[in-house]
Amino acid sequence: MKILVCISHVPDTTSKINFTEDDTKFDTNGVQFVINPNDEFGLTRAMWFKEKQGASVDVVTVGGKDTEPTIRKALAIGADTAIRVDTEALEGFQVAKELAKVAKDGGYDLIIAGRESIDYNGGMVPGMLAKLIDANFINTCVSLEVDGDKATAVREIDGGKETLTSSLPLVIGGQKGLVEESDLKIPNMRGIMMARKKPLNVVEPVGANSQASTKKFEKPAPKGDIKMVDADNIDELIDLLHNEAKAI
């Protein structure tokens, strides 16, 4: 089984975010970038298929040379080959079209992407990718098993979970639950050294046009002052929630 894991290069959630050029550009100075958490769950599941079923695992990202440390981490975790599409990731449809070319050329059986990235939270790429390569698609996936050319997946739905079966090729949008957080792999020194010798192939983009543009960024409003209420003063708490916070 050939598996392709889509990796998004995103800011660490602990990073302090700022913007430049009148709030039209994201300021990367001092920002630590990591593998998108939803993608990391998918990568870890792919490693399970590699260890248990002998699958081959490639990882792919769309971005400039600055994304290579992130994709190298995926190699250190255990992926066999990395692919970097040499163009800036601008928006979901453009990224999906670039990934589709890689997916078609590679002839993959299973493509694992994160349900969404934690920077823009668009949640568009996996579904668009599946449509572009004419593959089946299961989103919000929290469990995945593959037996031959059949996959069984569990996905979250409103109010519960749903179990689905699908033939391959299949694209999934994975998330927390696909593996447990305790199962996430931290690269060891041997993995880091081996990653330096593994292929990182830079491919030319198809030149997909961006269908959207960013006009301006805006930070959330700062948190207001905290008002403490004595635990025994229920009447005051109710009054504040009703008349000040307008929560009830």
pLDDT above 90 as % of the chain? 67
Dihedrals phi, psi of 234, to nearest 5 degrees: -65, -35
Q: Which of 209, 202, 208 is nearest to 85 (CA)?
A: 202
Q: How far apart are CA 122 and CA 115, in angstroms?
A: 9
Instruction: Please check the confidence at residue 247 and state whether its pLDDT lies above 90.
Output: no
The answer to whether residues 151 and 166 touch, using CB atoms and an 8 Å cutoff, is: yes
Q: How far apart are CA 8 and CA 112, in angstroms?
A: 12
Q: Which of 209, 213, 210 is nearest to 24 (CA)?
A: 213
Report pLDDT digits (tens) over 112-150: 999 999 888 889 999 999 999 999 999 999 999 999 999
Domains and CATH numbers, the chain: 2-216 (3.40.50.620)
Tell me whether residue 117 is exposed, middle or buried, using C-beta atoms within 10 angstroms of its C-beta: 0 to 12, 13 to 18, 19 or more. buried
The answer to whether residues 116 and 82 touch, using CB atoms and an 8 Å cutoff, is: no
Residue 229, number of CB atoms within 10 A of its CB: 14
Q: Would you state the pLDDT for residue 17? A: 86
Q: Would you state the pLDDT for residue 212? A: 84
Q: Would you state the pLDDT for residue 179? A: 93
The answer to whether residues 46 and 81 touch, using CB atoms and an 8 Å cutoff, is: no
Report pLDDT digits (tens) over 152-208: 999 999 999 999 999 999 999 999 999 988 889 888 888 898 888 899 999 999 988
- Cα distance between the two ends of the chain: 54
Instruction: Please check the confidence at residue 97 and state whether its pLDDT lies above 90.
Output: yes
**Residue predicted with more confidence, 240 or 204:** 204
DSSP 52-89: HH--EEEEEEES-GGGHHHHHHHHHHT-SEEEEESS--
Helix %, strand %, coil % of the chain (to 5) = 30, 30, 40
DSSP 240: I
Q: Would you state the pLDDT for residue 125? A: 95
Q: Would you state the pLDDT for residue 208? A: 87
Q: Show the CA angle centred on residue 228, arms to residues 225 and 232, nearest 5°.
A: 160
Q: Would you state the pLDDT for residue 105? A: 95
Q: Would you state the pLDDT for residue 135? A: 97
Give the 3-state secondary structure of residue 228.
Answer: coil
Report pLDDT digits (tens) over 46-82: 999 999 999 999 999 999 999 999 999 999 999 999 9
Q: Would you state the pLDDT for residue 13? A: 86
pTM across the whole model:
0.87
